[in-house]
């Protein structure tokens, strides 16, 4: 590639300083010897459209989109994938031929991470218990339904948000009151925390795990710390546990491949680069 045609990508959101995506994409670019750049950009809601429309003219081949722009960018896209439409949000834009393509790879990243961290887990083997009904939960639920999970038990502090997801995603979802969320665990073969509980500086998800079978797989979307209180307690019971860092890495791979033309490696070096970046 000639020097005057160096591909640019990046991530837009606000705030953006905490994002691990520049460290992740940066190490992939270095390892693969690609002369590209991945740049964090703090963009306000007010400037979102102007910025997104200007980026392709500045040499950007695409971007990741994070909070609070994931929903709004859908309306700026010329083409939206089915999964982004279903989730109602996009995390990956591709700029090509003067068009904006929007996709959502969060659900893909979640399932890939789960399959890698818990290869014995079978989607059809039993119910999944999901804590939380926010944006991340939508992607998790869409991907679990797509994978063939027979039942999703859902509990959220604000019950109305869980009910809205049931209205949208259908009857394979059953809702549990937040105060009785422990009842979801009985017979569940997969447990997922999509809330921010357990994150550094936040309270732990304190649900009692008495009903949890050691055969269940437990995963947390929180990755700071890598081992949340939930994962530690589940590990003590004997469950296979899967941390949330892999979801971040796997959701990033399809965008990188489309922008820069190469499938990036996912291994321990990748994890180290994200953790130290
Ligand atoms: P994300 O895109 O990461 O899912 P979000 O849409 O803000 O972010 O959702 C955050 C999730 O964490 C929600 O399920 C939220 O519960 P509410 O819908 O009741 O707000 C959950 N959450 C955050 N703080 C919580 C707390 N202290 N107790 C229980 N749930 C909490």
Contact (CB, 8 A) for 45 and 69: yes
- Nearest residue by C-alpha to atom 3 in ligand 1: 136
Q: Specify whether 202 is catalytic.
A: no
Residues 190 and 214 in one domain: yes
Q: Which atom of ligand 1 is nearest to the CA of 196?
A: 12
Answer yes or no: is the C-beta of 136 below 6 A from any ligand 1 atom: yes
Q: Which residues contact 184 (CB under 8 A, 6 or more apart)?
A: 127, 129, 153, 154, 155, 176, 191
| Average pLDDT of the chain to the nearest whole number | 96
**Tens-place pLDDT, residues 56-82:** 999 999 999 999 999 999 999 999 999
Residue range 115-172, pLDDT digits in tens: 999 999 999 999 999 999 999 999 999 999 999 999 999 999 999 999 999 999 999 9
Same domain, 217 and 123: yes
The CATH code of the domain that includes 221 is 3.40.50.720
Whether residues 114 and 61 share a domain: the answer is: no
**Atom 12 of ligand 1: nearest residue by CA position:** 195
Locate 269 and state its tokens: 């070096």
Q: What CATH number corresponds to the domain at position 39?
A: 3.40.50.10860
Q: 268: which 2 tokens?
A: 């321990």
pLDDT tens track for 172-216: 999 999 999 999 999 999 999 999 999 999 999 999 999 999 999
- Domain containing 182 equals 108-243
Reported pTM: 0.94
Cβ atoms < 10 Å from Cβ of 85: 14
Q: Report the residue among 107, 130, 134, 222 best suited for mutation to probe ligand 1: largest number of ligand atoms under 8 A from its CB.
A: 134
Decide: helix, strand or coil at residue 43.
coil
Half-sphere CA count of 93, side-chain side, radius 13 A: 32
**Burial of 159 (C-beta count, 10 Å sphere; 0-12/13-18/19+):** middle
Beta-carbon count within 10 A of 132 CB: 24
Supply the pLDDT for residue 4. Answer: 64
């Amino acid at each position: 590639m000639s020097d005057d045609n160096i591909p640019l990508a990046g991530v837009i959101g606000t705030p953006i300083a905490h994002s691990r995506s520049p460290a992740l994409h940066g190490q992939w670019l270095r390892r693969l010897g690609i002369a590209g750049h991945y740049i964090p950009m703090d963009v306000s809601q007010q400037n979102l459209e102007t910025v997104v429309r200007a980026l392709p003219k500045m040499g950007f081949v695409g971007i990741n989109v994070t909070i609070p722009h994931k929903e709004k960018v859908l309306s700026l896209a010329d083409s939206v994938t089915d999964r982004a439409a279903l989730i109602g949000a996009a995390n990956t834009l591709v700029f090509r031929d003067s068009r904006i393509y929007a996709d959502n790879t969060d659900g893909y990243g979640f399932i890939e991470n789960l399959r890698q961290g818990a290869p014995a887990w079978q989607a059809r083997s039993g119910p999944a218990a999901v804590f939380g009904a926010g944006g991340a939960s939508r992607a998790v639920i869409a991907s679990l339904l797509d994978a063939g999970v027979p039942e999703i038990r859902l509990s959220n502090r604000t019950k109305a948000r869980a009910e809205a997801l049931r209205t949208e995603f259908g009857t394979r979802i059953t809702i549990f009151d937040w105060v009785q969320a422990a009842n979801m665990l009985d017979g569940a073969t997969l447990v997922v925390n999509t809330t921010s509980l357990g994150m550094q500086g936040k309270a732990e998800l304190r649900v009692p795990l008495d009903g949890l079978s050691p055969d269940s797989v437990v995963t947390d979307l929180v990755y700071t710390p890598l081992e949340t209180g939930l994962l530690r307690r589940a590990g003590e019971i004997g469950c296979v546990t899967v941390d949330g860092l892999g979801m971040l890495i796997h959701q990033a791979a399809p965008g990188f491949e489309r922008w820069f033309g190469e499938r990036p490696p996912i291994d321990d070096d990748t994890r180290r680069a994200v953790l130290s970046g």
